[in-house]
Each structure stands twice: as C-alpha cells, then as structure tokens.
Amino acid sequence: MEQQPVAAAEPEVPAGLGLTAAEYAQLLPTVEAYHRYAVGPGQCSSLVAQRIEAPPAAVWAIVRRFDCPQVYKHFIRSCALRPDPEAGDELRPGRLREVSVISGLPASTSTERLDLLDDARRAFGFTITGGEHRLRNYRSVTTVSELSPAAPAEICTVVLESYVVDVPDGNSEEDTRLFADTVVRLNLQKLKSVAEANAAAAAATPAPPAE
C-alpha cells in the first residue's frame, strides 16, 4: 500500500507575536537569519511584530534612516551623526549617532553604532555602545518583509524587531523585557501610522502629465 506524504507541521508561533501560523511560516527564514540570539547569563531577548498596510519599500525608507530615528521613535528628542571623514554623508556599518532622549524617562543620552544596513534584504541593526540609560549592551535588528497577500489587492508588510539586552541589577528578566517591549511596540505603532499616512498621501498625489 502506497504511503501518503505527511504534510509538514506549521511552526509554533511565539506567544504574543500576533501572527498566524501561516504568516509566521512565511517569515521564518527571516527570523532564522536575523532574529536569533545567543542569550547569555544576565541577559534577555524578545521579538515583536507589527503589520503595516503600506508597501515594504515605503516602510523601509523610514526604518533605514539611522540618521533620523525620531521620525517614528517616540522618545527621541534629537539625533546627530558623529562626523566620519571617510563616510561623509553615507550611512554604512560602523557609523555612530548621538541620541538625546526626552525628559521623564530613565535615560538622557544614548550612543549607538550602525551594525547592519542591507537595502536588498531590508535588514537594519544597531548596538547601544554608551550613554546614560538602563539598556546596557542593547543590540537590535529590524527587518521589513512583505507577506503573500490573501487577496490580490492587499498589501501586508510585517516589521519584525528583536533585541538582546543585559538585565540591570535589581531587575528581573520579566521587568526588563516588559520595559523594552513596551518601547519597541510604541515605536512600531508610530512607524505604522507614519508609513500608512505617507502611502496614502503618495496614492492621492496625481501622476505628472505625460510629455
């Protein structure tokens, strides 16, 4: 008797990610490539997802701006790139930025290094290397992916942002993860608003007349 092929089991979706098993299966190669960390003692890690109804290229245009994170990050007052005579105005791995944080948070400044900027794969990563804040040895990666739509007219971009960070003395892993997750989720919600507004404005702009 001929055996029937066994269907591959769908991957288990991490709790709290808010994606279906089918969606997570599409994103799994990206998760494996960019969002897995070797988490050491005294560290914690997390992965957050955000759906955005805008073309991935439009979302990526915002995410990749290492020099201007305040466009979608709530708690940044200002950002300035450190001068780099070799790089000039180019954004490339190794560039440093000085971030000023709004008052009222347990932070004031942050020095951050660009680790990854891959326009082809829409992957962005940075590490916090100094400053006055509670996120020690914070390393983050953000990816922008397009899901295969259920209907031809649908656009569904999913942004994944993950991080690994030290747990401060006197704090638990749960407290640290809750704090960092909250900041990441708020930022990704604003990214959604900005990207969708930009996409709507672009769609409403009449095309220039043909010559």
Task: Provide DSSP, 15-59.
Answer: TT----HHHHHHHHHHHHHHS-----TTEEEEEEEEEESS-HHHH
Give the per-residue pLDDT at 43. Answer: 96
Segment 127-168, tens digit of pLDDT:
999 888 778 899 999 999 999 866 555 678 999 999 999 998
Q: pTM of the predicted model, to two decimals?
A: 0.88
Give the per-residue pLDDT at 6. Answer: 46
Residue spans per domain, the chain: 21-83+91-201
Q: Which of the four CATH numbers 2.40.50.100, 3.40.50.1820, 3.40.50.720, 3.30.530.20 does domain 21-83+91-201 have?
A: 3.30.530.20
Q: How far apart are CA 125 and CA 144, in angstroms?
A: 12
- Token output for 1: 């008797």
Segment 70-80, tens digit of pLDDT:
999 988 889 99
pLDDT in tens, the chain (211 residues): 455 554 456 678 888 899 999 999 999 999 999 999 999 999 999 999 999 999 999 999 999 999 999 999 988 889 999 988 887 788 999 999 999 987 655 668 889 999 999 999 999 999 999 888 778 899 999 999 999 866 555 678 999 999 999 998 888 999 999 999 999 999 999 999 999 999 989 888 776 666 5
**Residue 168: exposed, middle, or buried by beta-carbon count in 10 A (0-12, 13-18, 19+)?**
middle
Q: Which amino acid is at 46?
A: S
Give the per-residue pLDDT at 13. Answer: 87
Give the per-residue pLDDT at 5. Answer: 52
